[in-house]
């Protein structure tokens, strides 16, 4: 099952967050969320297309995302997991 979260930069060094998960009910189809400049974009793409979208220099930070039949609940679970991931680093840097 293809899924994960990665970070990359655009040509102007602005951060792009890519979140993706292959859909259980549609093998070969991926739900892709792109967070860029405070906007969230949602699209459905093929597994082949995701390999064209994610740059080689992207840094993969999560490899497992929760699934829920309700897409809105699933996206909220992803958001929560990503926030917890980054909070770990915030605590690390603020304690030094």
In the prediction, which pLDDT does 89 show?
A: 76
Angstrom distance (rounded) from CA 55 to CA 76: 25
In the prediction, which pLDDT does 87 show?
A: 86
Q: Is the pLDDT of residue 52 over 70?
A: yes
**In this structure, what DSSP letter does residue 77 have?**
H
- Of residues 36, 32, 47, 40, the one with CA closest to residue 8: 36
Burial of 21 per CB tally in 10 Å (0-12, 13-18, 19+): buried
Number of domains in the chain: 1
Confidence band, pLDDT 50/70/90 cuts, at residue 88: confident
Q: Is the pLDDT of residue 91 over 90?
A: no
Q: Model confidence over 6-47: pLDDT tens digits?
A: 999 999 999 999 999 998 888 889 999 999 999 999 999 999
Domain encompassing residue 81: 3-94
In the prediction, which pLDDT does 25 show?
A: 82
Q: Is the pLDDT of residue 96 over 70?
A: no
């Amino acid at each position: 099952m293809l899924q994960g979260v990665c970070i990359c930069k655009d040509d102007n060094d602005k951060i792009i967050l890519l979140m993706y998960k292959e859909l259980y009910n549609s093998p070969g189809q991926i739900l892709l969320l792109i967070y860029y400049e405070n906007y969230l974009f949602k699209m459905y793409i093929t597994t082949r297309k995701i390999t064209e979208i994610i740059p080689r220099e992207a840094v993969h930070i999560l490899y497992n995302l929760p699934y829920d039949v309700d897409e809105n609940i699933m996206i909220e679970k992803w958001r929560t997991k990503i926030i917890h991931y980054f909070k770990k680093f915030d605590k690390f840097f603020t304690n030094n």
